[in-house]
Structures are given as structure tokens and as C-alpha cells.
Structure 1
Amino acid sequence: MRFKIYLFLLMFYSVNLHSQELKGKVIDEMQRPISNANIQLLKLENNELITFSKSNEIGFFSFKIKEISFPLVLKITHFFYEKQELEIFSLKDLNVVLKERVNELKEVVIEKKQQDIVEKNDTLTYNLNNLLVGSELKLKDILEKLPGITIDNNKKIKFKGVIIDNLLIDGDEFFKNNHQLAIENLTAEMIEKIQMLKNYKDLSNIDGFENNGQTALNIGIKKKFRDLFKGNFDAEGGIKERYKLHSNLYNFGKKSKLNIITDFNNLNENIFSPIDYIEMRKIAGKNLLVDKFSTGITTSNENGLPPFIFSQDNINTISTKNNTVNFAKKPTKNKRFEFISILNQTRLTENNKSLQTFLDRVSSAILDDYQSIGKSLYSSNIIKFENKINDKDYFQTNGYLFMSMDEQNQDLNNVIVDNQDQTLFKNQTELNSLKVGFNGTYKSKISKIFLIEGAVFNDYSFNKTDKNFISNKNFIGFDFDEKNINQTTNYQWISFGVKAKASIKLKKSDLIVKFNSIIDNETLTNNSNISSDYKFKDTFSILSNNLSVSFSSTLTKKIKSTIGVEYVNNNQFKPNTFNEKINLILPSINLSFKILEKFSCFIGYSMKQNNPNINNFISGNLLENQRTFWLKSSLRSQEMLSDNFNTGLFYTDITKNIFANFFVMYNDNRNQIINNFINSNIVTQQEYRYIDYGNSLIFNSFFSKKLKTIPLAVNFSATNTFSNSKTLTNNLLNDNSFNQNSFDFSLKSYFKNKINFDIGIIHLSNFNSFEAQNSLNKSKLITTSPFIKLDGTLFSKKINWKLNTTYHIFNSSFSNSNPILDTSFKINYITKSKLNFYLNSNNIFNIRENNFKNNFMQNDLMTQQIIMNTLSGFINLGITYSY
């Protein structure tokens, strides 16, 4: 009996020794850690304090207790969050979620002394009462008023001059990179709050790892607009038969979010910008394997992009039909499903004249007069699913389908200036493309210091291009004595890859080991009625194995370093041509310094590789257009490396509304593939060559300051690029230098419920120099555009109006262009009912059939002066119905 008692006591004592630590983590509703939370451990029966502690910088806390008698009470308090009390019945790890406190001190805060921005941990909350002036209608109008935030020409949201990584609705990922959808469709009346998260961690984040979070802009929606099907419908039409029909349906719930947009217009307004479309496709393939710890980057071609998305001013007419569906569902806090589907149809016409001057100073200039009709249909579909299985395991998978069908019919009058020899062409090009694939990721936290990750992807791409060129003269430059050329090109690309990654947390450092293996197989088939030289089938494969090690360490409180090295083994194979094995060592280093509390900087270096593609190794000739073709390639695979240096300075003072940064980036190519142009008046032949020269230097700066005593803000951004390269024309080496500069300065007012202004200037300049065959050719194109934007309200906000005027001044070394006064306005009459009326206009001083602008383009072969027949201005009357 005594033995049994001893045995029982021994077992109890062993369990007691093993269970002396109670630990957990304090987070907010957006899964961000909360530091400095007061944590008390109390007895349940008498509320007697046992011990207390505070959460650390990652929200972690722990208690070591000699004796434990359950149940216990855990009390957590924090000045910015609601108090939380939990009854504890065991020693399992705790995850305590605190709700943000609606501050009781609101009534005693004097409005004039309120900060424009409140910083709490890594979150900036904008005081919209201070910053908004009353004339805002869309999210875009709100964001343009917020210090540190800008919207660029591609409709991308930037914070301190850098594009944000995520766009959130009520803390949930929804629009993500599709900024234009959000800024032009969310109305100002829906917005309750706006927060900038400087260290956002998404669902994939594993506690204790991957501390370098992303930037995210969180849009808080007012309660009356949640969990309801709401939306609006716009219809407008007027002068020049210009029209727009636009509907926006949304339902932003706690677990499900839906947005359906339908748009028909001929105003040259696209739902998606070109950058948005390209970034959507980054979900595919190798992008899954590239993370923020990568020291080398494997490049790949993006084929099958719809040509129309890059059309800007060179449009005579355009009509677009678009349907976009964006759906996200979060059935639990750890599971998320997302579906994005875009169907877009576009028809456009162009009517331009251009003068092409060849840089070889031998060939005659060519005058082109062309008209074209283009049609495009594309569809993009993405399905995502992710599951945070528990605090230690995470899984994600993505599926995607991109399709495109494009057709262009062109009538071209080609005149050689020297002898006035004229050739008429009818060109027809059809491009059909398909890209389909899937990828998946799995993460598992093995212990406090060890995280493993695996990923896999498989992509398939197919492009078919049909070209049909008819001329009134024989194509003798192609060694083809006929007036008709047909060419069909089929391209297929299959890519498969896997990744294994291990992260180890040391005391003040992190060690990351990663292995990638990728196989790319490309096939190019070409058939033509010209000759056997234009009929071939090529295959090119790359098997790339990459092993990288990255070591990050906190040297002092103010200095952090990251050192990495990557071993690359490339096996590049082309049947009957070459089988090359390329082994590379790619080093990288990055140092960051926190000079002062508000001032920091970084400096870094990395060596990167670029891989060739099948087009560089074609075994036959390939037609590009009616006067240009690629010659059979004689290249073998070689290593292509570049050295990249970068440094940056950051200064942020939230209390003074100052945001500033400055970047310098330098790139030097050790080896790269360039074009050799063999040019004559009749035809241009192109071939690929290797060259070991080419560098660029980029300066980028940003400054934003909102004054406090005066309702004004100053914004400035500038980019300066200097690059040098060598090109080949008629087998002779040319020296080229480029100097491109841009700066944007504006002064913005913040008068409440009055007329406000945004005045400034945008300056763009290009200075280029080409030295070929002992002759120097210099060119310049300078565009200076002062602007003024006015907005305000009238009659107790029943009328909301905007007026934008820009004066474009051109200075070109090749042509004289008349200045253009571009003025537009929009007047909204807001009623108490669901029906509102508006007057919309654009470029009102150019409402005519033939509206022309001048432009200037250059490449390694020629300079090109263009007279573009652009869209005419318009004035439309419209109605908006909200429901």
C-alpha cells in the first residue's frame, strides 16, 4: 500500500515538474502581434494574483509557476484594446485575440490638435475627418488626399513612392494587386477608415518566421454597407456618339465578399491597366519559387499578352466590353477561397503617319501611312485556396487559365523618301494563346526554430501566330518573287518545378537553405510559303538546379545584415546543336542601418543570371513584318550574368506628416544577347549576337509633406535614368547613351467644403546619342505639362464638380509640335433619391473628327517621328442609379 502511495506521488510530481510553464501569444483581429500587453494570472476562487508579465515584441508571453491548481483566470489589458479574461483549465498554448478599443477619450480630444496620422505598432491610421474636404466621390479621391500615398499613371497605389503589396477590405485580402478595380468602383460614402500596414502578414505567415512582412492598405467599410447586396449603375452618352454603360454590384460580408463589374464604353477606359493584367499572370509558374530571400532570379518570357492593352494615344476609335467577377470566401479564420474571372472584348482603329530615319546613315528614310483595325478577346480565370491547418501548418493551391484571341488588319502605304518608290501592303496578323497551370505550397513548423516548406508547379503555354502579307510588288528582299507571304508559327512551352526550403531560427539570426529544380521545354514550329529556309521545328530545354543559402543577422540594435550565396547548375540542350552545362556561383549581400529613430538606409549587391529562350537559337528564318525577318541563329548557349548594386535612404516623421526616400540602382551586364541589324532600303535582317557591355544607373526620389498650420501639402517625385549600350548595325558596333528624366511636383490644398486646388508640373525628357560609322546622331524629346485641378461642392453638397486642365508643351529635335490644351470637367448633381445626374467631358477643346498628336520613338535601328490620329474630345450627359 505504501509503495502504491509513493508511486502515485512520484507520478504526480513528474507531471507537475513537466507542466510548470503557461505560454501564449496576444494578437489583434488582423493576426498582428500586440506588444506590451499587461497579463495577469489569477486564482479563480478569490481573484488572488499569482503572477504577472507583459507580451514581448512578437506578442509572446510565458509564466513559470511552482504550483498550479486549475482552474485559473488569465486577464489581459492594453490601452488600445478591449480587456479580455479567460478561464484556464490546462497548460495548452494560448492564442488571445484582443478587439480594438473604441477610445472613450474621443469626446475630450480637441479637433485642431488631432494628428492627421496615428501610428500604433506597424499600423498607420489616417484621420479622415482631418484630411477629407467633402468633395470626394470615389476611393481614388480619398487616397489622393492622404500623406505618403500616391496613385501613378497605371492606377497603382504607392506608399512612399513604392507600390503596395496588398489591398484589403475589412482586413481581408480581396482586390490584392488589382488596385484600379478598387479605387474607381468603391464610393467615398462606403469608407469608414483607411490604414496602412507596414508589416502585413497574410494567412501563410507562420509565427516566429518570415518577419519581413509586406505593405498592405486596409479599407474599412461602414457597417451599413456590409452583408448587403448593393451597387450602382451608370449610363452616359452625348457628342460624337460616345457612350458608357457601367454597373458595379458588391456584397462585403464578414465571411464572403463579392464584386461584379460590367462595363461597355468607347471612351478608352479600361477596367484593368496593363500592369494589373501582367501582375495577375504572375501567379503562374516560376513566380511561386521566387521569394524575398532569393539571391538569384531566373527570368522567363511572358507570351500571349493582348496587344491592345498597351495602346495609349495612338487610337482613332476604341470600344470595350468587360465583365469582371471577384469572389472571396473565408468560412473560418484559417481557410480562404478566391475566384477571379475577367472576360474582355476590344475593337480599335488606328490611323497614323510616321517618318523612319535609320541610324546607319546609309539607308533612305521611309514614310509610312497606315490604317488598321484590331479586335481582341481575352479571358483570365484564377482559383485560389489556402488553409492554415493549425498554428504550425499551412497549405495553398492555385489554378489558372489565360486565353487570348487577337486579330489586326492593316493597310500600309510605304514610301522611300530618296526615290519616292511606293509600296502598298495589306497585312493581317492573328494571335491565339493559351496558358493553363497549377501550383501548390505546404509549410510546416517542426519546432520553435525549424520551418520546412515545399512547393510544386506545372504550366503549359501555347501560342499560334498567323501572318498574311499582300503587296503590289514582289517580296524580292525575302528572296521571294511573289506578292503574297503566309507564315504560321506555333510555340509551346511546358514548365515543371519543385522547391524545398528550410528556415532555422537562431538567437539573433536566421538561416535559410533552399533548393529549386525547374525544367523548361520549349518548341517552336514555323511554316511559310517563302522557301525551305522559313520551315523548321526547334526544341530547346533548360534543366536548372539551384541551391541557395541565406544568413540574416542582427549585428547591433541598429544594423542588420543578410549574406547569401546560390549555386546554379544549368543544363541547356538543343538537339543536334549543343548540350551545355553551366555552373554559377551567385553571391549577394545586404546591410540595413537605422541611423536615427526616423532615418534609416540600406546598401546591397547581388549577382543575377538571365536565361535565353528558344527564339535565340532558331534553325531557320522567321518573318516579323512586311520588311523585317530574323536570320537563322548560329548561337550556342552561354552564361549571361549581371552585377546589381542598390542603396536607399528613408526618412519618415509621422507627427510632421513627412515621407521621403531616395534610391540609387546600378546594373552592369557582363554578357547579354543583342540584335544585329543588316539594313537596306528594301528589307531589314536581324540576328542575335552576344556582347559583354551594357549598364544603367537609376536615381529615384520621393517627398511628401502636409503642412499643419496651413491646409496645404507638397508632393514631389523624380526618376533619372542613365544607360549606355552597344548595338550592331550592318555588323558595325555602335555606342549608344540614353538619359531619361521625369519629375512631378504638385501643391495641394485642404480647405473644408470649399474650392480646392492641385497645381503643379510634370516634366519628361529624353536625350539620346547614337554613334555609328564615325557619325554622331543626337536626339531629344521634352514634354512639359503644367496642370491645375480644381474641385468643390455647391448648394449644400448637392452639386459636386471637378475641373482638370493640362497644357502640354513639346520640344523635339526632329519635329515641331503645337502645344495642346487638354481640359475636362465632371459635374454631379446629387439628389436625395437613388437617382443622380452628371455631366462628363474630356479634352473639350478638341471635339473634332481629326484630332492629332505628335510622338517620337527610338530603337537600336531607327528614330521614328509619328503623327497620331487620336480620340476626339466629348461631352456626355449621364445618370447614376444606386441600390
Structure 2
Amino acid sequence: MIHFFQDICSLKKQFLCFFLLFAVPIFSQNNVTGSVVDISSKPISQATIQLKDIKNDQIFAFSFSDTSGNFRLVVYKKGLYILKISYLGLKSFTKEIEITNNLLDVGKITLEENKIDLENVIIKNEAAGMTEIGDTLRYRIEKFLNGTEETLKDVIKKLPGLDIDSQGKIKANGKEVDKLLIDGEEFFINQQKIATENITAEMVKNIELIKNYTEFNTIKKNNKSEITALNINIKEQFKNKLTGNVSAGAGDNKYKVHATLFNFSKKTLFSLISDSNNTGELSMNIDDYTKFTNQKEEGTIGETTFSKNDNLPRFLTIGNNVKERSSYFTGLNLKYSPNKKTQVNFYSIFNSVDQIEQQSNTQFYSSNSGVFSNKDSRFSTEETVFTNSSIDIAHKPNEKTLISYKGFFSGINKTNSIEIDNNANQLNNATELTDYTFNHQLNFATLFENNRGFTFSLKQQILKKSNLLNIKSNLPFLALNFENNAYKIIQNSDLNKNNIDVNANYTFNVKKTANSLFMESSSRKDNYKSTEKQFSQFENDVVTENSIQSFGLQTKFKFSAKTTFSSALSYSRIQFKMDNSTDTKWLFTPKISLKTDFSSNHYIKLSFSRNIGLIQAENLIPNSVISDYRTIYSNVNLRLNSVSPNNQVGIDYFYFDNKRKLSIISNLSYYKATNIISNNSSADAAVNLIQYQLAPFENHFNSMLYSEKTLSFVPFSIRASASYSSSSKILFSNNLNQNLKTESTSGYISFISRLRQTSLQFETGVAVSKDVYKDVFFNNHITILNPFIETSFKISNTISFVNKFSYKKISASTSSNEIYQLSPRLRINFPKSKVELSIIAHDILNIKNYEQISLTRFDNFTEERISQSLTGYYLLNIKFKL
């Protein structure tokens, strides 16, 4: 397996060299230049400049005029074109031009006043720095910035209606943005956090929020896409050349080295980002990892897997509750458009993380004699290597036909060693995990007359996962009879999956109804094995096969100009095969929704869906499997033909008014599943036994309300959010059922400055959360109170200062603590120099490791953890701009 990852690393180096050379091609460019002014000869900034095909009105080039009214368009083919220049409130200018040389200067263009009333077409709020045209809201970002912004993330967080949450996801009026575009092209696929933290603020020309964005790799139809995209337009001086920066910072036993390289051109978008540090900072989060490793389209039938926390890399789930952490990251992104009909998207990521943890844990278990606790102290080291590569090739022979291929590879190699002091026993719990997935998919789509269409896709997923568990102990454990006092466990487990899906879809319209007939055929084969050297009771060899045929009808009907009804009714035939026995089931899975659009920015939607969960091979073990030094898993009554139907009802409400500067978003959802995978547990001082078992039900309720209002009488915005969720599920303890209830309440309110003509900007507020876990044995809770303030101040044209301060009080069932965090940063720009100096101080009130409390409720026990957390640090950082 070591050779496997060496080969992967070698292959990545070859890809890197290839694409570095490939990313900067030399093109024969033809430039059209000019300038735009009004009738008083005043330069017009942000005028829209388009170059169109003289025959079919297709846009060949697109740009905006700069602050001096100048513009430049680049095309790669000589000939006749239509030059169109437009600006809100002024008459559009149209002229036929012929490009015969590499440079054509059309001179000064004067736009005259437009007498037509645009009130019903355009919402114009130039004073507020936002202009809305149809489905596009454009921000003049200079209206909101004060010069302290360093990255695209800093810019976005200061724009009304936009925000970036703690996971790095971009939010627009409280809703997650689906796509991130660079100059109108989709780039940084699944990497919003990486993009916003590495594109510098000085590169950004303006930002546009686009509703109903149409992707290149889809065929445009008459219906709205309901995809939201944020488009980042790059300044001209950063295009058609290599640009970026290299920075290095050092402090007391801390370092950080970071490099970025970009090329933004008409045919090629390219980025190379690399980071190495021992400050504990990560380049990705759980949301990024989930998107990287689950890139497969949903089929007709859902899948249910009994998941444990170790399915995710621990460096993502543990947060800052580690004593030390160092990481190395390299990400390569490439988008290449050789012509108007073909696009290639490629990215490759390599991430390596080493960390050390030190914890004191208390687990509370229920038993026949009541509740007892198990305490241990742990010192662990973990090394994780994650790699992910993806390629997406789309070709449109014409506007009605699309051929595409998608493929991605994801691999992870993790080694973990935990030294455990449990009562009088000393143990070492070591694991080595290797997990890789390869998915690829071929798609064909075509559109006929009258909006009739046909799509076909062929998909395959290959998954291989192996895990080596090695436990050494001074005393007996897991209530096992070890021979010759050899208190050791060496367990190997392997999982192999191979899924193949074929899907066909035919769309057609009947009067006001859009219809779609679909068929899908799936073949799935899983194999799970486990062995242990000393004990045969831990041997398993499970082989399962599922054959699924689904067919159904989707409809979309407009009751009125504002109300639309949608439904998807499907039947599935599932054939189960295991141990030479077979079974067949027919399942009905309807989905319906009703949506009323009061306006383009105001709607309410009701939805209902029914899905089916299937049992996985790793849950069907006939014998036991060891999880750790005190936990053993087994199976009671799960069978391959067990299915878990679940129903979900939802209500979504969205309102946004640019004139009133108000946005409101709310949603409610209720989920109920029956015949679910649960567990039966029994515990004593030596072992915790968990058996997979079917339970009668599990339900979840989630609600959220978000609002943002920019005040007109004072220069502030108020942003607030509140959420409440609860769940109830049946668990079994010593074969007796119990109801576990979980309630989570959270909210925040913040005040964001929208000060004009000042160098000061700030945001202050408070966030609160409370989690409660209840069953017949336990009543645990954890409460967090977190007031905060973030300020940015431009001291002079060359010096800026930002500071973050927060107070966090954590109260758990048996303990509590308080944490003060202060993170100032001073940045110095040297005029007419490519050097920038920063003094970074992060969490400087906690220069030594401090303790943080966390509470986790598992299905069979509650764990309260006191962890050593990352220290604060000082860095002197120097950045060199390319």
C-alpha cells in the first residue's frame, strides 16, 4: 500500500509538471480597445462591453470599462462583429466592426441619456453600491471596503446580503451559494473556502450575484435552473499573465509558508496553491472533504450505512482540540476552453496532516446495575495523507447536444497510535487505514424540437477500504481469554464495492405540463472481510449483490403564473442476493412539491419525499468485529432484504427586497424513518458490546430563521439567525428499548457597520447554543455563550489593522471553563513595492495550551472530553507579490 501512495505522489508530480506547462499557452490575440464617456465627456465606469457574432448574436467577448472609461476585448479570430456598449440609464451603442489586424481602436464612444422609464425593468440603487438587472445583482465593491481587506473572503464578508460561515461556505441572503465563478466561468469546483482565502482583494474588480445560473455542461431549456452563482470579475492588470504571491512567517517555534500562482486568461484559468505550517491551520474542512469524497449523482434508491466517527479523518472532527498540528497542502486547478464548444475542468489536491492530542475522557454507560463511568487519559499521534483528483470534460457539438465525461479519484491513508491509561492498565491502540474510491460517468444529452429531450448516463463506482487494528495491553481486556499472557489484538478488515448504474431519461411537454420518463438499472456488489490472528470469532466474509430496476414519471405543472406543482413518481424492483438465497421487493418512492413565486425574490415552497434505505454488507456481519480496546460490534437481526422507508416534509420561505434592504429566509423540515438501523448495547467495566438491531422509528425536526436588514437612518446592518432541532430515536440497552431525545438550540445576532467616508469597519454580536441529551439513564447538556467583536481600521494608505476578540463560556453537565481569544494583525504595504509586511498575533491570550470541554452523545454512551487545545502564536510575515 506504501508503494501505491508513492505511485500516486509520483503521478501527481507528472500531472503537475504537465499542467504547469499546459496552463500558459501562447495565443494569437486580436485586441479591440476604446473608451466610454457620457454627454459631458465624463468617463463611464462599469459599462458593459460585448462583442457579438454578426450572424447569430452569439457573444464572443465580454468586459467592463474601468474607472477611466477604457476597455479592452480579446478575440482569437478576425472578421466581422457587432460591438455593443450599454450602461444603466443610458442608450446602448451598437456598431458593426471588422477586425483585420491584431489591434483595433474604436476610439471614444459617447452614450446618450435614455428617456425610457426603467422602473419596472431595473432596480437601480447606485448610492447603495448595488444594481439589480433581471437575475443579476452587481456590487460596486469599492462602496463597501476600507482598504484593510486582504483576501476575497474579507471582501465578501463586507458586502450586504453576503457572508461566509465558519465552514467557509458562501451565503447569499442566508442561503448557500451553489457555484463560484471567475469571470463568468466555473472554477474552484467544490473549493469555495480555498478560493475565498487565496484570491487577493486587490485582484477583484466587482462581484455579481446571479440567480438561475445555467452551467456550460447542461442544455439550456426554457425553465429556470434555480442555481445561485457568485461571479468574481478579475481586474484587467491581473489577466493574461502569471500572478500571485509567496509569503513566509516565523515566530516562537511556529512557521507558515504559503504560495499562490494564478493565470486568468480567455481560454485558460489556472491556479496553484501551496501551504505548509505548524500553527494548526487547515486548508480544508468537513464540508470540503465530504464534497471531494462523495462526487456521485443520487440514484433512485437511497443507501443507509451505520456510520461511526472514525469514518472521517480525525483532524477534521477534532477541530482545535489538539495539542500540536502541522499540515502541508497543495492544490492545482485548471479550466481550459480550447473553443466555444469544449471545456475541460481539472483539479488535484494533496493534503498531509500530522497532529498530537492529549485528553482526559469520561464515558457514562448504562448497565443492569445502573449508570457507571469509565475514565481514561489519552496521548495520541495521527498522520493522515489525503489526495483527490477530478476531471470533467464537456463538449457541445451544438446548443442542443452535450457529451460529457466525469471522473474522480479519492484516496486516504491514515495511521493513528493512542497511548491509553485506563485504571491500572496501559494500552496502545494503533490503526492503519487505507481507503480509495474511483468514480467515473459518461453522459449524453440532446434536445429536440418543442423542448423534447433525451439523456443517457453510464456510471461506475469502485471502492476499496482496508483497516489494520493493533492493540497491545499490559493486562487482559475486552473480556477475552488470551493465551500465554499475550495481550494483543491484530485485526484486519477489508471492504470492496463495485456499483454500475445505467440511466435513461426522456422529457416532453404536454400543454402546460413538462414531463420526464426515466428508467434506471443498477448492479451493486459488496464484499466485507475481517480476520483476527488469535480469535476466530472475529472472522467475517460477507458478499452481497443487489440488482435494482427503477422507472417513473416526473411532471411539472403551472397552476397559474405564480404557482407550480412538481412530482416524481417512481417504482423500483430490488433483487437481493446473499449466501445463495434471493428475495425481491417492489418499492414506491414519490416526491412532490408546490411552489408559489410571489416575485423573483419572494417565494414559498412545500415539499414531500419518500426514500428507501438499504442495508450495507459491513452491517451484515455474522460474527463480531473489534472497534477499540473496550468496544465490540456484532449483528442481531439485520438482513439484506431489510429496507428502511423514510418520509420527509419541508417548508421553505425566501424573501429579498433590494430597495428595502431586507432579506428573510426560513425553513422547517420533519423527517421520520421506520425499521431503521439502531443498536442494542450492554456495558460493564471491561467491555462495551454493541449489536446492530432494527428499531421501529427515528424522527428529526429542524427549523431555522435568518434575517438581515440594512438600516436607512444609521449606517448599520443587523444580521440575526435562530435555529432549533430535535430528534428522537429508539435504542436498546440490555435488550430493553429506550427513547433517546436530543435538542439543539442556537442563535446569533450581530451588528455590521456600513460606514462611509471612514477607515473603520466592525462587526459585533453574540452567539449562543445549547445541546441537551435525554434518555432514561442520562440528562446531559452543554451550553456555549460567545460574544465577539471584529474590527478593521485603515491607519494610513500603507498601514492597516484588524483585530478579533471573543469570549467563550462553556458549561457542561459536570464541568465548565472560560476562554478569552484575542487575534490582532498589523499589515504594512510599501508603496511602489512588491513587498508586504505583516505582524500576526493569533489567540495571544492563550500562548500556552489551554483546556477545552466538549460533550458527545453516542448511541450507547455519553462522553465528556477535556482536551489540550492549540496554543496561540506570533508571526512576522513577509509577502512577495509576483
TM-score range, shorter chain: 0.7 to 0.9
Q: 2:281 aligns with which of 269, 274, 281?
A: 269
CA deviation string 1:570-629 (max 9, x = no partner): 1222114x4221211112211111346753211111111111111221122111111111
What's 2:789 paired with?
A: 788
Is 1:395 aligned with 2:403? yes
Q: 1:520 aligns with which of 520, 524, 538?
A: 524
1:307 Cα deviation from its structure 2 partner: 3.3
The 3 A distance-change label for structure 1 pair 412 and 476 is: closer
CA deviation string 1:622-677 (max 9, x = no partner): 11111111124442222211111001221110112211111000011122110111
Asked if 1 retains the 8 angstrom alpha-carbon contact of 2:498 and 2:524, the reply is: yes
The amino acid across from 1:425 in the alignment is L
Question: What SS does the aligned partner of 1:214 have?
Answer: coil
Question: What SS does the aligned partner of 2:816 have?
Answer: coil
1:880 Cα deviation from its structure 2 partner: 0.7
The amino acid across from 1:261 in the alignment is I
What's 1:61 paired with?
A: none
Asked if 2 retains the 8 angstrom alpha-carbon contact of 1:412 and 1:426, the reply is: yes
What's 1:247 paired with?
A: 259
CA deviation string 1:141-193 (max 9, x = no partner): 11011122111111111122222111000000111321111111111111011
Question: What SS does the aligned partner of 1:667 have?
Answer: strand
The 3 A distance-change label for structure 1 pair 298 and 86 is: farther
Q: In the TM superposition, what are the counterparts of 1:478-627 in structure 2 within 5 Å?
A: 478-481=480-483, 482-576=486-580, 578-595=581-598, 599-627=602-630
CA deviation string 1:267-300 (max 9, x = no partner): 121222221122123334xx1x55xxx7x64557
Larger displacement relative to structure 2 (560-569 or 307-316): 307-316
The amino acid across from 1:428 in the alignment is A
Question: What SS does the aligned partner of 1:533 have?
Answer: helix
The amino acid across from 1:851 in the alignment is Y
What's 1:434 paired with?
A: 436
The 3 A distance-change label for structure 1 pair 634 and 265 is: same
CA deviation string 1:357-407 (max 9, x = no partner): 113463531111010111111211111111111011101101222222110
Q: In the TM superposition, what are the counterparts of 1:360-509 in structure 2 within 5 Å?
A: 360=367, 362=370, 364-415=372-423, 422-475=424-477, 477-481=479-483, 482-509=486-513
How many equivalent residue pairs? 783
Structure 1: distance between partners of 2:343 and 2:670? 40
Question: What SS does the aligned partner of 1:283 have?
Answer: coil
The 3 A distance-change label for structure 1 pair 209 and 257 is: same
The 3 A distance-change label for structure 1 pair 113 and 458 is: closer
Larger displacement relative to structure 2 (597-606 or 155-164): 597-606
What's 1:218 paired with?
A: 231
Is 1:762 aligned with 2:736? no
Asked if 1 retains the 8 angstrom alpha-carbon contact of 2:264 and 2:270, the reply is: yes
Q: In the TM superposition, what are the counterparts of 1:622-771 in structure 2 within 5 Å?
A: 622-636=625-639, 637-751=641-755, 752-771=757-776
The 3 A distance-change label for structure 1 pair 455 and 197 is: same
Is 1:125 aligned with 2:138? yes
Question: What SS does the aligned partner of 1:227 have?
Answer: coil
Q: 2:327 aligns with which of 299, 306, 320?
A: 320
What's 2:38 paired with?
A: none
CA deviation string 1:757-797 (max 9, x = no partner): 1100111111221114xxxx3122110100011111112x2
The amino acid across from 2:180 in the alignment is L
1:78 Cα deviation from its structure 2 partner: 7.7
The amino acid across from 2:452 in the alignment is F
Larger displacement relative to structure 2 (830-839 or 355-364): 355-364
How well do the aligned residues superpose, as a CA RMSD in angstroms? 2.6
The 3 A distance-change label for structure 1 pair 218 and 633 is: same
CA deviation string 1:437-485 (max 9, x = no partner): 3211110113223100000111211111111101111236134454011
Q: 1:333 aligns with which of 318, 331, 340?
A: 340
Question: What SS does the aligned partner of 1:620 have?
Answer: coil
Structure 1: distance between partners of 2:431 and 2:409? 23
CA deviation string 1:835-881 (max 9, x = no partner): 11111111111112x32112222122222221101111111111111
Structure 1: distance between partners of 2:540 and 2:803? 58
1:76 Cα deviation from its structure 2 partner: 9.4
Structure 1: distance between partners of 2:366 and 2:111? 68
Structure 2: distance between partners of 1:638 and 1:243? 53
Q: 2:318 aligns with which of 305, 311, 326?
A: 311
Structure 2: distance between partners of 1:83 and 1:518? 56
Asked if 2 retains the 8 angstrom alpha-carbon contact of 1:359 and 1:863, the reply is: no
The 3 A distance-change label for structure 1 pair 105 and 327 is: farther
Structure 1: distance between partners of 2:110 and 2:376? 67
Structure 2: distance between partners of 1:839 and 1:189? 20
Structure 1: distance between partners of 2:249 and 2:808? 28
Asked if 1 retains the 8 angstrom alpha-carbon contact of 2:780 and 2:813, the reply is: yes
CA deviation string 1:792-830 (max 9, x = no partner): 1112x211111100000122222132x111111111011
Asked if 1 retains the 8 angstrom alpha-carbon contact of 2:809 and 2:816, the reply is: no
The 3 A distance-change label for structure 1 pair 252 and 113 is: closer
The amino acid across from 2:638 in the alignment is L
What's 1:282 paired with?
A: 294
Is 1:169 aligned with 2:182? yes
The 3 A distance-change label for structure 1 pair 632 and 712 is: closer
Asked if 1 retains the 8 angstrom alpha-carbon contact of 2:292 and 2:410, the reply is: no
State the percentage of identical aligned residues.
22
- Please list every run of 5 or more consecutive structure 1 residues that lacks an aligned counterpart in the other structure: 1-22, 32-72, 88-100, 416-421
1:24 Cα deviation from its structure 2 partner: 10
The amino acid across from 1:813 in the alignment is S
Structure 2: distance between partners of 1:734 and 1:530? 36
Asked if 1 retains the 8 angstrom alpha-carbon contact of 2:513 and 2:556, the reply is: yes
Question: Which is higher, the Rg of structure 1 or of structure 2?
Answer: 1
CA deviation string 1:102-149 (max 9, x = no partner): 97779xx9x996243211111111122322233212111110111221
Asked if 2 retains the 8 angstrom alpha-carbon contact of 1:582 and 1:638, the reply is: no
Give the TM-score of the pair, scaled to structure 1. 0.85
The amino acid across from 2:619 in the alignment is N
The 3 A distance-change label for structure 1 pair 355 and 553 is: same
The 3 A distance-change label for structure 1 pair 79 and 504 is: farther
Give the TM-score of the pair, scaled to structure 2. 0.85
What's 1:187 paired with?
A: 200
Asked if 2 retains the 8 angstrom alpha-carbon contact of 1:305 and 1:404, the reply is: no
Structure 1: distance between partners of 2:94 and 2:481? 84
What's 2:855 paired with?
A: 856
The 3 A distance-change label for structure 1 pair 838 and 561 is: same
Larger displacement relative to structure 2 (594-603 or 556-565): 594-603
Structure 1: distance between partners of 2:790 and 2:834? 28
The 3 A distance-change label for structure 1 pair 368 and 113 is: same
- Please list every run of 5 or more consecutive structure 2 residues that lacks an aligned counterpart in the other structure: 1-53, 63-80, 98-108, 119-123
Asked if 2 retains the 8 angstrom alpha-carbon contact of 1:616 and 1:633, the reply is: no
Question: What SS does the aligned partner of 1:142 have?
Answer: helix
Asked if 1 retains the 8 angstrom alpha-carbon contact of 2:716 and 2:752, the reply is: yes
Asked if 2 retains the 8 angstrom alpha-carbon contact of 1:209 and 1:505, the reply is: no
Structure 1: distance between partners of 2:576 and 2:538? 24
Structure 2: distance between partners of 1:30 and 1:613? 51
Structure 2: distance between partners of 1:469 and 1:459? 33
